[in-house]
């Protein structure tokens, strides 16, 4: 099935792409750089039942693997550099095994899976999902069941896995349903350069927290991940790596987060990111739509992030040079946009509505449409926010020191030319932990300038400054707006 390879053609194409890369590097153009990663090579058709990794091993770099329609079950791939994996319509890459043999014992239906338990798993669960750390999930007709910690806790809608025997105990009758258990940890990973993954459904991988079903966190560079549907994976749907281009994907119903990770020169564009965190990780720890830590030169634009069990977009732990521009956010937990322990961030031209609500509290401490937490040199402008729990807020807390030895702080932040509509909650303001002086208000160069506020009760206390709530009139005369 291999097409004939013209080595002279490949050599000419390689020289052409090297020239583009050199030009792109000199211009600092990420988009141009990504045009340089399409290399010529053979095209291999992959049918369901074929071993994709075996085909990768048997073929040279720069091969295109065209996945035929159907479920390519229990496939994990470490690509070679410049490989492409392209799905034909209806191609599904699955990390789950079918369960077909069942016995009933009292209130339980029992099956069996080949599983092993790790010594420990990372993460923190919320109070209603104590088994979130375990990576295997059970699905009835593509709906994940709730995992419990003991056999005695199994009831309709839940299940339990006994690692010592491999027995799967279900509280629902499996007959007449497609029943699957996720087993493999990743669909794609490794240190290859310039890999393309497109037009695939990637689902039901049993990755542990902070890992991705499409995992760009192991030294990958310049991966292009576009046009995929990534769903029902226990952890992160797509994890970023250096130079990664993540675009036009539908990333939904993943167990921890939709998109996230680390890296430099990362572009995340035109994705829909929704309904992530079904596993029940605590959003105070890490979950939601998209989160990046220790990232540099990240652009997040034209995305729609909604209905996630955590912030819609979140940067943390010394993230720098970030642009969050022209996105839409709605109905996420804690924040539409959360900028935490980061610096040199721009949040601009976003539309945020009905966002940032938190079951645990309603003050700025608990959430907002845009929340700046102990971060400096953050510019927030030309955003439109409508009826979030709070509008735009700042938090000063003790977050320790950045790698340069200086403490994370809330300084040199500008909130300008935004339009904020609030029926309840705070429209704008800053809160601080005890133990700090009032410098965050008086001398650290934090300003709210030329913003438009549309308030249900203009005489109400919609603002927080210098440790107290205040009205719009008091806010306009305070040093917050100077």
pLDDT for the residue numbered 21: 43
pLDDT for the residue numbered 174: 98
Where residue 219 falls among pLDDT bands split at 50, 70, 90? confident
Spatial separation of the C-alpha atoms in residues 281 and 128, rounded to whole Å = 10
Calculate mean pLDDT across residues 155-172: 97
Report the Cα 159 to chain-centroid distance in Å. Answer: 27
Identify the residue with better confidence: 386 or 27: 386
pLDDT for the residue numbered 27: 40
Range with the lowest mean pLDDT among 19-28, 278-287, 428-437, 445-454? Answer: 19-28
- pLDDT of 39 strictly over 80: no
- pLDDT of 1 strictly over 60: no
Tokens of 241: 């790596």
pLDDT for the residue numbered 147: 98
pLDDT for the residue numbered 220: 84
Calculate mean pLDDT across residues 325-338: 98
Q: Is residue 91 helix, strand or coil? A: strand
Where residue 468 falls among pLDDT bands split at 50, 70, 90? very high
pLDDT for the residue numbered 20: 39
6-34 pLDDT, tens digit per residue, is 334 334 334 434 443 443 444 444 444 44
pLDDT for the residue numbered 5: 35
Phi then psi for 178, rounded to 5 degrees?
Answer: -85, 115
Spatial separation of the C-alpha atoms in residues 420 and 439, rounded to whole Å = 26
63-101 pLDDT, tens digit per residue, is 999 999 999 999 999 999 999 999 999 999 999 999 999
Give the containing element (helix H, strand E) for 448: strand 447-449
pLDDT for the residue numbered 24: 44
Calculate mean pLDDT across residues 169-173: 98
Where residue 482 falls among pLDDT bands split at 50, 70, 90? confident
pLDDT for the residue numbered 40: 59
pLDDT for the residue numbered 435: 85
Spatial separation of the C-alpha atoms in residues 212 and 240, rounded to whole Å = 8
In the chain the domains, ranked by start, together with CATH numbers, are 96-182 (no CATH), 196-481 (2.160.20.10)
Spatial separation of the C-alpha atoms in residues 462 and 335, rounded to whole Å = 18
pLDDT for the residue numbered 437: 85
Where residue 414 falls among pLDDT bands split at 50, 70, 90? very high
119-144 pLDDT, tens digit per residue, is 999 999 999 999 999 999 999 999 99
Calculate mean pLDDT across residues 28-44: 57
Question: What does the chain come to in residues?
Answer: 482
Contacts 24+ apart (CB under 8 A), 456-462: 456/422, 456/423, 456/424, 462/422, 462/425, 462/426, 462/427, 462/428
Q: Is residue 294 helix, strand or coil? A: strand
Q: Is residue 428 helix, strand or coil? A: strand
Write out the DSSP string of 170-230. Answer: ESS--TTS-EEEE--S-SB-SS-BS-EEES-EEE---PPTT-EEEE--SS-BS-EEES-EE
Which residues, other chains included, contact 438 with Cβ-Cβ below 8 Å and sequence gap of 6+?
466, 467
- pLDDT of 35 strictly over 60: no
Across the chain, mean pLDDT equals: 92
pLDDT for the residue numbered 17: 43
Identify the residue with better confidence: 19 or 224: 224
pLDDT for the residue numbered 38: 46
Range with the lowest mean pLDDT among 12-16, 155-159, 328-332? Answer: 12-16
Which regions of 241-375 does DSSP assign to beta strands (E)?
245-247, 250-252, 257-269, 272-274, 288-301, 304-306, 313-316, 319-325, 328-330, 335-340, 342-348, 351-353, 368-373
């Amino acid at each position: 099935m291999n097409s004939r390879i013209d080595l002279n053609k490949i050599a000419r194409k390689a020289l052409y792409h090297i020239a583009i890369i050199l030009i792109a590097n000199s211009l600092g153009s990420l988009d141009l750089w990504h045009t340089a990663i399409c290399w010529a090579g053979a095209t291999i058709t992959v049918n369901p039942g074929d071993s994709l990794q075996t085909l990768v091993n048997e073929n040279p770099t720069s091969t295109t693997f065209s996945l035929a329609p159907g479920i390519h079950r229990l496939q994990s791939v470490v690509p070679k550099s410049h490989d492409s994996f392209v799905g034909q319509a209806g191609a599904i890459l699955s990390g789950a095994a079918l369960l077909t043999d069942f016995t009933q014992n009292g209130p339980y239906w029992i099956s069996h899976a080949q599983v092993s338990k790790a010594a420990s798993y990372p993460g923190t669960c919320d109070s209603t999902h104590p088994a979130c750390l375990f990576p295997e999930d059970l699905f009835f007709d593509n709906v994940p069941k709730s995992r419990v910690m003991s056999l005695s806790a199994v009831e309709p809608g839940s299940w339990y896995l006994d690692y010592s025997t491999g027995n799967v105990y279900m509280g629902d009758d499996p007959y007449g349903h497609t029943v699957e258990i996720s087993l493999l940890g990743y669909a794609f990973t490794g240190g290859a350069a310039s890999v393309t993954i497109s037009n695939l459904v990637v689902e039901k991988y049993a990755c542990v927290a902070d890992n991705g079903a499409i995992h760009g966190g192991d030294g990958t560079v310049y991966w292009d991940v576009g046009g995929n549907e990534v769903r029902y994976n226990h952890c992160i749907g797509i994890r970023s790596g250096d130079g990664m281009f993540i675009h036009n994907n539908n990333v939904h119903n993943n167990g921890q987060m939709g998109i996230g990770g680390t890296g430099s020169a990362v572009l995340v564009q035109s994705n829909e990111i929704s309904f992530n965190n079904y596993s029940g990780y605590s959003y105070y720890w890490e979950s939601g739509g998209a989160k990046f830590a220790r990232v540099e030169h990240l652009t997040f634009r034209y995305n729609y992030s909604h209905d996630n069990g955590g912030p819609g977009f979140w940067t943390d732990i010394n993230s720098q040079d970030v642009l969050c521009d022209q996105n839409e956010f709605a109905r996420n937990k804690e924040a539409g946009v959360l900028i935490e322990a980061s610096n040199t961030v721009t949040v601009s031209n976003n539309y945020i509505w009905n966002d940032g609500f938190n079951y645990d509290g309603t003050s700025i401490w608990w959430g907002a449409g845009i929340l700046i937490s102990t971060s400096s040199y953050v510019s927030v402008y030309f955003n439109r926010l409508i009826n979030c729990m709070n509008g735009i807020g700042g938090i000063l807390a003790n977050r320790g020191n950045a790698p340069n030895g200086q403490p994370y702080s809330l300084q040199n932040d500008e909130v300008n030319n935004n339009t904020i509509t609030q029926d309840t909650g705070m429209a704008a303001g800053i809160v601080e932990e005890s133990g700090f002086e009032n410098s965050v208000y008086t001398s650290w160069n934090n300003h709210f300038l030329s913003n438009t506020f549309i308030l249900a009760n203009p005489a109400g206390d919609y603002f927080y400054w210098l440790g107290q709530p205040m009205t719009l009139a008091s806010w306009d005369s305070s040093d917050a707006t100077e």
